[in-house]
Structure 1
Amino acid sequence: MDADREGGGRRTPGRAVAYVACGVVLLAGCASMPDSGDLRGVDATPRQDTQVRVYAMPPQEDAEPLDIVQGFLEALTSDDPDYETARKYLTRSAAKQWQPGLSTTVLDDGPGADVVPPVGREQGEDTSFTLTGTKVAVVDAQQSYAPASGEYRETVHLVHDKKTKQWRIDSPPPGVVMGKSDFQRNYVSVNKYYFASNTRAATAPQTVAVADPVYVRERVDPMTQLVRSLLSGPTSWLDPVVRTRFPTGTALKDGVSSLTPDDQNMLTVPLNAKAGHVGLDQCEAMASQLLFTVQNLTPAVDTVELQAGGKQLCSVKENEANGAATRGSVENPAYLYFVDGRHRLVRISAEADAGGTKAEPVPVPGALGDGDKDLRSVAVSRDEHTAAGVGMDRKALYVGSLVSGGSLGDPVLVSNGKTAEDRLTTPSWDTEGDLWVADRNPADPRLLLFKEGAGKPLEVATPGLDGRIRDLRVAADGVRIALVVEKAGKQSLFVGRIEREGRTGDPQSVSVRELRSTTPDLEEVTTMSWAGDSRLVVVGREQGGVQQTRYVQVDGSTPEGPPPAALTGVKEIAASEDDEMPLVAYSEDGIVRLPSGAQWQKVDADGTAPVYPG
């Protein structure tokens, strides 16, 4: 299950408690393998039902070196909490020094192994194998996923113990290695939550919660793993723009090995002395972080209680946490907006029943709905009070209030690009009411920010950007931005971190840093939109392939679950971070939308440029 809900299918209580397993499968290394030659393509374990616990077999007596390697690799894919069985394939010294939590390397297929011929040593006392494969991803010590590519080659060295007369590995590969199918069976992506630290406190309506996706082992007490990960702090990529309310050094109380909600759906979390002297406001913020985090794993939890020194610090219920901090996934837009056949900004109720009486779009109040300016693309602020529109030739950007009788005035930005493709992108609003747009003029390509949608634009620094911005969307949390970047005819999707400097009221410098590729296998990205706290929906095409619509995580991983229903000729797509809202697209059939559990349904035959607020 992915970190964001799939079509309303966020982790159900039944699925969430599946890790209390009702069955066992044993993995065993093949005992009849030859003692010479090559071992190729160690088979990945067939994917098991998620309620079945998988355990490996310890090494057999007098097992040959290849059996030891095979058994060790199989044991890495088991559900042993601390890889106790895998350690039995290692020498005593290696078992103490090996750190499985250092990293998990994911290969396209299970690792193969080549025996290394003995050179300059007596055959029979030791031997080596080279593990090989094609890298797909690496999960680091912070449990953060990152796509990877290239060849994997690591040497495994074995010795023949003179006392026990048994072969054991004395030089294992660093961390853990497994094939993609085993990784999908063993790990689950879940969001932990921190608070945005770079928002302007004077204008931000309330604290903004930011999702930080990590991978935990799905059947090895994932709730406790996730809580420990939250307490350890944000991942390195997100750390510069978020903060935690837990005091430095806060951890679970000594002796606490497992966390389980009670029959009242409350999770009690005993903390060490570092958390013992926090005030009530800070404690409730800490509890809110925990509640947002564990609910992403199991929504059955609706209350979190924090303890320290054997005493209750505070408790927070779901409605209290949602009132203290905002998340995009629980913010409900009032309207869906698009440009109608007369090139005006129109809207319909976001909750209109697409399967019942057809909702008729109506022009928005104000100048952008009056039709004085023909619009090509639009963006509506997250409070739905203001809108921005780009003219038909993509040359001018206008900003207007969604109030009857409001005037439009002169454009806030004019591009000097020679063609429409070399001018302005679709704009996007962040959570602070600032407006973002890119000018694609080859002579002066820029990413620009208008504070509160007005005034002189601030040029945003984009160190590391290699190419020209074709499209952009700012996340609801205001600290991440998705960019479609074009270079040499190829479009790629990247997610960058938004960093702001300067005090409230002073001129700020803003930059987008550490761009991460989220769709390395696509050579064409047609359109994209945020579709959850850490998920996007993307329309694109692989090399030599056909157009497809799919979900991707911000870390570049693929969420579990089916993609949206197929739709041909998609030109633009819009999603809400609240995935209970229908997916909307502009395709060959005009504006269509995809209600949960239904097929694509026509909204407006002549409409274009659909957007939800943001």
Structure 2
Amino acid sequence: MIALLGCGVVLLSACGSMPVTGDIKSVDASQPGESQVQVYAVAPRENATPGEVVDGFLESMTSDDPGFRTTRKYLTKEASRTWKPSAFTTVLSKAPNRSEHPVRDSDRSSTELTFTLTGEKVATVDAQSAYQPVAPTGFNRSLHMVRQNGSKEWRIDFVPDGLLLGQSDFKRLYRSVNKYYFATGSAAGQSTLVADPVYVRNRTDPITGMDTVTQTVRSLVEGPTNWLRPVVDSRFPIGTVLRKGVTALAPDDRSVLKVPLNKKADGVGQRSCRMMASQVLYTVRDLTSARVEQVELQRSDGSSLCVLGSDQAEEFAPDGSSGGPDSQYFVDDKGHVQRIPGSTKGSGDPEPVAGPLGDGPEPMSTVGVARDEQLAAAVSRNSASLYVASVVSGGELPGPAVTSEAKKPEDRLSAPSWDGRGDLWVADRNPDDRRLLRLPGGTGEPSNVAVPDLGGARIEALRLSADGVRIALLLTEDGHTTLKIGRIERQGGPDTRQGVSVVELRKAAPQLADVTAMSWSGRSRLVVVGKEQGGVQQVRYVQVDGSAPASGVLPGANQVSSVAAADDEQLPLMADTEDDGIVKLSPGDNWQTVLKKGSSLVYPG
């Protein structure tokens, strides 16, 4: 394959014509990081062998071939007409292997062939562009070939729908983006935006001809992915789409992004329109080199429906505010809860919190602090009791809110976590009575949360997302601890009587055989500590959909037992280590010791 750096073009075969200017060098078709290099497919050469046809077809799927027109030239006319490349994408650990199987019937042996494509499947991307990882499994798919009537040319006459890509090609061709929708069942007066990650093509999509921003806005307007749909709402009326013919969206010289819609949105009121515009603004703000400061939604006739600026969109901010809590809390060596003040980025002097958790008689082992930093929940040193108390005013330590009857400390209560709605969650790991508990408002009566997909697994740890609709669980089963994400469904109104369940658990770090610790880090990302099969401990980022960013591996730290990250991704990552105490990792820096003594450091949440 040849790359023309001066033109930003890669030809997938040396058989095609190409410009003769610019520097020339050989590159690997699966070379990651070449996102600015455009790759074009080349049609099959005359009298190409069956193997060359199969190879050319597979390589052309990794190109930027408009409409996959060149790719279809490797197919018979009927197969070209029926093949649907946009149905889904299968991602393999690397490009597929092929093996040839001649037809045994002697009458057809010179006119038909079957090829088997094999590899290790690691993920699929569905028609909604939603990524779904799988535990690495064997992949096997057949292609049938025929010699065309009246010619000696071989073509593929049976090919399953969809694209088949190696992992490095997938990362080169696609990028992860967050769409935003409103959480259902929010408390009165609250409108919380929830990130819904999908994968869209870098540059231009071969099927639609849309650039990356337009693909993303189109996906947003079409609605949330199926997994998230039961717990979010879109303010775009059903049937709303981009105006016909729109393939390129970009902010103008005033940083305004204008989005033309069809007639379905013409009659939308101003409040709903502003909420629609906020969905667009938060979705596209990191997609363009020029920052979008305003979104203007347009009616089908081109007139302005509404305009929303960045400052006006703050009321819909996904984190509930422009900043979010930035203080850190931990348990000192005496079992008291202390606070490192916000805006010090982990460098301030610790101070005991007010109230009984800061100087009370009961030593604690773990702590979780509400996002408004008014209440905290702490588990006693023997892990048997959960206490909830104010951290801004004094008072006596109230009685335990939850008690575990398990015989061993490691079988008792997990560290607590608060969701974005102010509810408190904790797991009782008692082998005789395993429970996931929710305390409405932090002080309400504990109620059992159903987890139908749990099976025989035990909840070791849990962390709630800021949006309140997802929960990260560390689950132990058959000697391994894995990370899964569950969807939180609420039946009834936003009050203490609503029924709550966690459903459709899905793997979030399938590449890790064992996960030791995790924390939410932003709107659709987690930081995890774990090991690959037979590997050493690593600290890395994973997306909530289970995909792993190329730059996700972080500098290693010694024997990390817990990790804490903030909703604001610019705040330092904190970790408990066996040898170095509590350490922090600021963006672009190395791990630094913050406290030699102390444990269970957390951000609010």
Please report the TM-score for the alignment, with normalisation by the length of structure 2: 0.92
1:25/1:44 CA distance change after superposition, 3 Å = closer
1:18 paired residue number: none
Report if aligned partners of 1:29, 1:67 keep a CA contact under 8 Å in 2.
no
Paired residue type of 1:237: W
Greater relative CO (CA pairs within 8 A, separation 6+):
1
Report if aligned partners of 1:474, 1:482 keep a CA contact under 8 Å in 2.
yes
For residues 573 and 364 of structure 1, the distance between their equivalents in structure 2, rounded to whole angstroms, comes to 21
1:47/1:547 CA distance change after superposition, 3 Å = closer
Report if aligned partners of 2:542, 2:552 keep a CA contact under 8 Å in 1.
no
For residues 81 and 320 of structure 2, the distance between their equivalents in structure 1, rounded to whole angstroms, comes to 44
User: What's the offset of the Cα at 1:322?
Assistant: 2.1
1:16 paired residue number: none
Equivalent residue in structure 1 for 2:93, among 108, 115, 120: 108
Q: Secondary structure at the match of 1:62?
A: coil
| Bigger Cα displacement from structure 2, 345-354 vs 380-389 | 345-354
User: What's the offset of the Cα at 1:384?
Assistant: 0.7
Equivalent residue in structure 2 for 1:128, among 109, 114, 132: 114
User: What's the offset of the Cα at 1:504?
Assistant: 4.1
Equivalent residue in structure 2 for 1:66, among 42, 46, 51: 51
Q: Deviations over 1:533-590 (max 9, x none)?
A: 1110011122322111111111111012152221011111100121011000111211
The answer for unaligned runs of 5 or more in structure 2 is: 1-5, 17-27, 205-210
| Structure 2 residue 254 is matched with structure 1 residue 264 | yes
1:26/1:437 CA distance change after superposition, 3 Å = same
User: What's the offset of the Cα at 1:112?
Assistant: 1.1
Report if aligned partners of 1:436, 1:448 keep a CA contact under 8 Å in 2.
yes
Report if aligned partners of 2:326, 2:566 keep a CA contact under 8 Å in 1.
no
| Structure 2 residue 335 is matched with structure 1 residue 343 | yes
Paired residue type of 2:558: T
Alignment of 1:52-63 (within 5 A): 52-63=37-48
For residues 345 and 185 of structure 2, the distance between their equivalents in structure 1, rounded to whole angstroms, comes to 38
Report if aligned partners of 1:29, 1:74 keep a CA contact under 8 Å in 2.
no
1:34 paired residue number: none
User: What's the offset of the Cα at 1:521?
Assistant: 3.2
Report if aligned partners of 1:44, 1:110 keep a CA contact under 8 Å in 2.
no
| Bigger Cα displacement from structure 2, 321-330 vs 146-155 | 321-330
Q: Secondary structure at the match of 1:568?
A: coil
Paired residue type of 1:83: F
| Structure 2 residue 275 is matched with structure 1 residue 314 | no
1:143 paired residue number: 129
Report if aligned partners of 2:422, 2:442 keep a CA contact under 8 Å in 1.
yes
For residues 392 and 493 of structure 2, the distance between their equivalents in structure 1, rounded to whole angstroms, comes to 31
Paired residue type of 1:500: R
Paired residue type of 2:50: P
| Bigger Cα displacement from structure 2, 99-108 vs 590-599 | 590-599
Q: Deviations over 1:28-80 (max 9, x none)?
A: 2889xxxxxxxxxxx85333522111111112222222111111111100112
For residues 168 and 217 of structure 1, the distance between their equivalents in structure 2, rounded to whole angstroms, comes to 28
For residues 77 and 384 of structure 2, the distance between their equivalents in structure 1, rounded to whole angstroms, comes to 70
1:505/1:593 CA distance change after superposition, 3 Å = closer
Q: Secondary structure at the match of 1:212?
A: strand
1:171 paired residue number: 158
1:552 paired residue number: 542
Equivalent residue in structure 2 for 1:395, among 384, 388, 411: 384
Report if aligned partners of 2:363, 2:381 keep a CA contact under 8 Å in 1.
yes
Paired residue type of 1:26: L
Q: Secondary structure at the match of 2:70?
A: helix
User: What's the offset of the Cα at 1:328?
Assistant: 6.6
| Structure 2 residue 188 is matched with structure 1 residue 196 | no
For residues 196 and 29 of structure 1, the distance between their equivalents in structure 2, rounded to whole angstroms, comes to 52
For residues 345 and 431 of structure 2, the distance between their equivalents in structure 1, rounded to whole angstroms, comes to 44
1:3 paired residue number: none
User: What's the offset of the Cα at 1:184?
Assistant: 1.2
User: What's the offset of the Cα at 1:434?
Assistant: 0.6
Report if aligned partners of 1:132, 1:152 keep a CA contact under 8 Å in 2.
yes
Q: Secondary structure at the match of 2:74?
A: coil
Alignment of 1:200-599 (within 5 A): 201-202=187-188, 206-220=190-204, 221-298=211-288, 300-308=291-299, 309-327=301-319, 330-352=322-344, 358-466=347-455, 467-505=457-495, 507-587=497-577, 588-599=579-590
| Bigger Cα displacement from structure 2, 595-604 vs 359-368 | 595-604
User: What's the offset of the Cα at 1:515?
Assistant: 0.3
For residues 113 and 481 of structure 1, the distance between their equivalents in structure 2, rounded to whole angstroms, comes to 41
1:22/1:497 CA distance change after superposition, 3 Å = farther
Paired residue type of 1:124: S
**CA RMSD in angstroms, aligned pairs only:** 1.9
Paired residue type of 2:104: V
User: What's the offset of the Cα at 1:408?
Assistant: 2.1
For residues 292 and 325 of structure 2, the distance between their equivalents in structure 1, rounded to whole angstroms, comes to 25
Q: Secondary structure at the match of 2:590?
A: coil
Paired residue type of 1:398: Y
User: What's the offset of the Cα at 1:351?
Assistant: 2.3
Report if aligned partners of 1:476, 1:577 keep a CA contact under 8 Å in 2.
yes
Please report the TM-score for the alignment, with normalisation by the length of structure 1: 0.91
For residues 211 and 92 of structure 1, the distance between their equivalents in structure 2, rounded to whole angstroms, comes to 42
For residues 322 and 79 of structure 2, the distance between their equivalents in structure 1, rounded to whole angstroms, comes to 48
1:22/1:399 CA distance change after superposition, 3 Å = farther
1:603/1:255 CA distance change after superposition, 3 Å = same
| Bigger Cα displacement from structure 2, 164-173 vs 304-313 | 164-173
User: What's the offset of the Cα at 1:222?
Assistant: 1.3
Paired residue type of 2:337: L
For residues 370 and 559 of structure 2, the distance between their equivalents in structure 1, rounded to whole angstroms, comes to 28
1:152/1:77 CA distance change after superposition, 3 Å = same
For residues 279 and 151 of structure 2, the distance between their equivalents in structure 1, rounded to whole angstroms, comes to 51
| Bigger Cα displacement from structure 2, 589-598 vs 67-76 | 589-598
2:8 paired residue number: 23
Number of residues of Structure 1 aligned to a counterpart in Structure 2 = 577
Report if aligned partners of 2:444, 2:496 keep a CA contact under 8 Å in 1.
no
Q: Secondary structure at the match of 1:376?
A: strand
Paired residue type of 1:609: S
1:9 paired residue number: none
Paired residue type of 1:612: Y
1:407/1:326 CA distance change after superposition, 3 Å = farther
- The percentage of aligned residue pairs carrying the same residue is 51
For residues 492 and 454 of structure 1, the distance between their equivalents in structure 2, rounded to whole angstroms, comes to 30
| Bigger Cα displacement from structure 2, 390-399 vs 551-560 | 551-560
User: What's the offset of the Cα at 1:166?
Assistant: 2.8
| Structure 2 residue 74 is matched with structure 1 residue 82 | no
Q: Secondary structure at the match of 1:571?
A: strand
The answer for unaligned runs of 5 or more in structure 1 is: 1-20, 32-42
1:328/1:602 CA distance change after superposition, 3 Å = farther
Report if aligned partners of 1:253, 1:272 keep a CA contact under 8 Å in 2.
yes
User: What's the offset of the Cα at 1:329?
Assistant: 9.2
Report if aligned partners of 2:235, 2:276 keep a CA contact under 8 Å in 1.
yes
For residues 335 and 531 of structure 1, the distance between their equivalents in structure 2, rounded to whole angstroms, comes to 15
Q: Secondary structure at the match of 1:403?
A: coil
User: What's the offset of the Cα at 1:468?
Assistant: 0.6
